[in-house]
A and B are shown apart, each in its own frame.
Chain A
Amino acid sequence: MSDVKKFMFVNRKAPHGTIYALESLEVVLITAAFDQDVSLVFLDDGVYQLKKGQQTKGIATKNFSPAYRALEGYDIEKLFVEKESMEARGLNEQDLLVDVTVLGSAEMGELMDRQDVVLSF
């Protein structure tokens, strides 16, 4: 597969309550391994996926949040968080596990328009 496409993963769901966030992360890593242009977007409750200090011992599930920090090692550096979603949840960039680019809604919309493949989980 020599063709490179722009893949965007839109995460709008909170972690732990459902498996979507974890399984989405698995696709993201594979996509990067295929040398595609990968962007991750965190919107609405998806922003909570990046919240620092997640401890899942008490619910006996895998804490996959450290994996977001490992993305850089897979050359996935385009992480975008929508400003409105973050603020609506009382969060700021210091609350997040990783460095992200914060975009306003309109900029986010334009970024989506420019993608070839948009996957949302």
Chain B
Amino acid sequence: MKFGIVVNEGPYQHQSSDSAYLFCKAAIEKGHEVWRVFFYHDGVNNASKLTEPPQDDRHIVNRWSKLNEEHGVDLVVCVAAALRRGIQEENLAKGFRISGLGQLVEAGVKTDRLVVFGD
């Protein structure tokens, strides 16, 4: 099955990034495809390469980048939400791309299930 995921909250502040990531991992382990993760609202902060958590904590941003690298998951950051919050091409972590809201609609149209994580 083909999954689309929406993440609406920033990393570390809210559990939704963790829940979404663990869902993606489990889906891939079960042989499903995670076609796209769309980051909206404060979720765009998941894409900041300036993120530096303490060493004993999980690195939420790098975890997403790895998901892109190893499983080809398309990581899309909403442009309007990103610009509002200071996320731009120059501070975008590896594997993420900035694009329009149409990519969210496309995820709804082209996947079998769209699962939303947020507050």
CB-CB contacts below 8 Å: B88-119 with A: 100-102, 104-106, 108-110, 114, 116, 118
User: Interface SS of chain A: helix, strand, loop or mixed?
Assistant: mixed
Contact size range, A: 10 to 19
Instruction: Tell me the minimal C-beta distance from B13 to chain A in angstroms.
Output: 13
User: Interface SS of chain B: helix, strand, loop or mixed?
Assistant: helix
Q: Is the beta-carbon distance between B8 and A117 smaller than 8 angstroms?
A: no
B80 on the A face (CB < 8 A): yes
Give the tally of cross-chain contacts (CB within 8 A). Answer: 50
Instruction: Tell me the minimal C-beta distance from A115 to chain B in angstroms.
Output: 10
Q: Is the beta-carbon distance between B114 and A20 smaller than 8 angstroms?
A: no
Instruction: Tell me the minimal C-beta distance from A53 to chain B in angstroms.
Output: 27
Contact size range, B: 10 to 19
CB-CB contacts below 8 Å: A22-36 with B: 23, 26-27, 30-31, 33-34, 36
B contact set with A: CB distance below 8 Å:
6, 8, 40-41, 80-81, 100-102, 104-106, 108-110, 114, 116, 118
A contact set with B: CB distance below 8 Å:
1, 3, 5, 7, 19-20, 23, 26-27, 30-31, 33-34, 36, 116-117, 119-121
